[in-house]
Amino acid sequence: MSAECSSYLSADKVLVSGFSCPRPGGDARAVFCCGFQDVKYCCDDPHSFFPYEHSYMWWLSVGALVGLSIAAVVLFAFIITVCVLCYLFISTKPRSKLDTGLSLQMA
């Protein structure tokens, strides 16, 4: 079993000629054409070809980092708020017990 990787323009706009998988001297299990439209290679997973440019995945990564950063800031603000509220609750409690108006005496 073998696959044909068609020729493509790399990210540097250089024409890379097509090739067959597996490549001579490469892994014999790498029989599928994998990668992106501008970066292709042989691999053993039939579902690893993505019809996008490689830079598309970079923007997904940047978006994920921005989203995670915002979530981390929100979580940090929540934790700080909880700590401040707990401190205020503990520090504003009366030091002595309140007089309930009932005096308990032992019989």
Q: Which tokens in the block code for residue 55?
A: 């830079």
Which domain, by its residues, includes 26?
4-43
Give the pLDDT of residue 11. 77
62 with 87, same domain: the answer is yes
∠ CA(76), CA(78), CA(82), 5° rounding? 120
pTM, two decimals, is 0.46
- For residue 36, what are its two tokens? 């992106």
Average pLDDT of the chain is 82
Do residue 80 and residue 58 come from a single domain?
yes
Answer whether residue 104 is part of any domain.
no
Taking the mean position of all CA atoms in its chain, how far away is CA 29? 29
DSSP strands (E only) in the chain = 3-5, 8-9, 15-16, 19-21, 32-35, 40-43
Tell me if 105 is assigned to some domain.
no
Number of domains in the chain: 2
Q: In the predicted model, is pLDDT for residue 8 greater than 70?
A: yes
Instruction: Tell me the three state secondary structure of residue 26.
Output: coil
What does the block give as tokens for 71? 């979530």
**Residues 10 and 39 placed together within one structural domain of the fold:** yes
Percent of the chain with pLDDT over 70: 78
